[in-house]
Amino acid sequence: MQTIKAAVCHSHGDPLVIEDIQLAAPRMGEVEVTLEAVAICHSDISFAEGAWGGHLPAVFGHEAAGIITGLGDGVSGFAEGDSVVVTLIRSCGTCPCCAGGKPTLCETPYDALNDGPLKTAEGAPLMQAMACGAFAEKVVVDQRQIVKIPKSLSKEAAALISCGVITGVGAAVNAAGLRAGQDVVVIGAGGVGLNAIQGARIAGARRIVAVDMTEEKLEIAKEFGATDGVLGSLKAPWKAVFKALGGKGADVVLVTVGAIPAYEQSLRYLGSGGKVVVIGMPHSGQEATYEPVIMAAVGHGIIGSKMGDVVIQRDIPWMVDLYEQGRLKLDELISGRWSLEQINEAIADTKTGSAKRNVILFNKTN
């Protein structure tokens, strides 16, 4: 075991504590990655606040990039010194979901508390949240959770790909199966929403209407590819969307926020035969209400999308290539850069709703 620094959650809703923890060496099929950057996702915040339960103490963080500094037995295709992105998608590769091309839905359990690589400084159990635990100087993860990237790609930009980008772009390209000429509504213009907009643009959507509660975010959405913006605070925002789409509803609605009203209104934006893609994650126990007869009458559908339905070894390389061509925005997603010691300030800033993505840089000094 080696000692590293991490931001540890000891109690739901309380500030994270920067402290020494113990990290085990990589085992069969695992790699050690020394991190250079980790972004703060709203899922990290929701978990830390107790939205979905979970064991404490825990180390959250799952949107990271760094350098491989250790290899366990049986690792192939990677070497020490490789630049990689680190994701939370720990897949076995052999269960029905993995074998069917859905590794984000892997059915093989992983005990991140008792079988994970983390311990407290005193040797007590410490949860490796989301099979990642990246609010720390280093992580030990399965080789299936990482993808090699060019050394020239900055780690702060690469870190964003690990969750926000693949979730948003993947939801549009993989889950929605968008084709050129279709019309799309994206509810929520935060970090994931902006990437859903980018995904719709990349897929060739005719019109992309962003719906958000602030004019400022709607303007930012247009910089990422939205053709139109509608305030969600309007009495009937779907009417404005129909007008923007030439008098008809959307083929696809991508809901990227966790607000229940957004889900209850989402079907109103659809045209006949359209579908809603559920991306944002409300707190456990929250429910939305629909009128099934309308869905049946006009052929509406609702599907869930976990992590953009991505296969990271397939999808991350082409996203990196699009970034290098200038066709996928990453740097523009970064709102602020913080040190690990400033993580609670970065989380507070993220919770205001104004940030696209805040990034923790491990070589940054206060």
pLDDT digits (tens, 9 = 90+) for 26-41: 999 999 999 999 999 9
Cα separation, 260 vs 253, in Å, equals 15
- Asked if 41 contacts 132 with a C-beta cutoff of 8 angstroms, the reply is no
Cβ burial 175-205 (10 Å sphere, 16+ → b, else e): bbebeeebbbbbbbbbbbbbbbbbbbbbbeb
| pTM greater than 0.85 | yes
- Give the model's pLDDT for residue 363: 83
Q: How far apart are CA 184 and CA 201, in angstroms?
A: 10
Query: Tokens at residue 312, please?
Result: 């990271």
Residues 145, 90: Cα–Cα separation, whole Å: 5
> Per-residue pLDDT for 355 more than 90?
no
- Enumerate domains of the chain plus CATH numbers: 2-163+309-361 (3.90.180.10), 177-304 (3.40.50.720)
- Residue-level pLDDT at 366: 62
User: 3-state DSSP call for residue 303?
Assistant: strand
User: What are the b/e assignments for 35-59, b being 16+ CB within 10 Å?
Assistant: bbbbbbbbbbebbbeebeebebbbb
d(CA 106, CA 132): 15
Please give the pLDDT value at position 353: 80
Mean pLDDT of 213-227: 96
Q: Are 178 and 205 in contact (CB under 8 A)?
A: yes
Contacts by 51-54, CB closer than 8 A, 24 or more apart: 51/283, 51/284, 52/281, 52/283, 52/284, 53/284, 54/127, 54/129
Phi-psi region of 12 (alpha: psi -120 to 50; beta: other; left: phi over 0): beta
Average confidence (pLDDT) over 312-335 = 97
Chain centroid, CA 133 distance in Å: 15
Q: Give the span between the Cα atoms of 344 and 115, in whole angstroms.
A: 28
Q: Are 69 and 138 in contact (CB under 8 A)?
A: yes
Average pLDDT over residues 235-258: 97
Compute the mean pLDDT over every residue in the chain, rounded to the nearest whole number. 96
* Element counts in the chain: helices (H) and strands (E): 11, 18
Summarised one tens digit per residue, pLDDT across range 116-151 is 999 999 999 999 999 999 999 999 999 999 999 999
Q: What is d(CA 19, CA 351) in angstroms, rounded to the nearest whole number?
A: 23
Percent of the chain at pLDDT exceeding 70: 99
Mean pLDDT of 302-322: 97
pLDDT for 53 equals: 87
- Express each pLDDT in 39-85 by its tens digit: 999 899 999 999 888 899 999 999 999 999 999 999 999 999 999 99
Give the pLDDT mean for 249-254. 98
Residue 365 — pLDDT band, cuts 50, 70, 90?
low
- What pLDDT was estimated at residue 296? 96
Which two structure tokens, joined as six digits, stand for 104? 């984000």
Checking if the pLDDT of 240 tops 80, the result is yes
List Cβ neighbours of 124 (8 Å cut-off, separation of 6 or more): none
pLDDT score of 356 more than 90:
no
The residue-averaged pLDDT of 77-97 equals: 97
pLDDT (average), residues 257-273: 95
Residue whose C-alpha is closest to residue 311's, from 80, 106, 39 = 106
Whole-angstrom distance, CA of residue 290 vs CA of residue 43: 25
pLDDT, mean of residues 237-247 = 97
Q: What is the DSSP letter of 125?
A: B
Percent of the chain with pLDDT over 90: 94
Model pLDDT, residue 287? 94
Identify each DSSP E strand in the chain by its residue range.
2-8, 17-23, 30-39, 58-59, 63-71, 83-86, 118-120, 127-128, 138-142, 146-148, 183-187, 207-212, 228-231, 250-255, 270-278, 301-304, 334-338, 357-361
pLDDT band at 224 (very low <50, low <70, confident <90, very high): very high
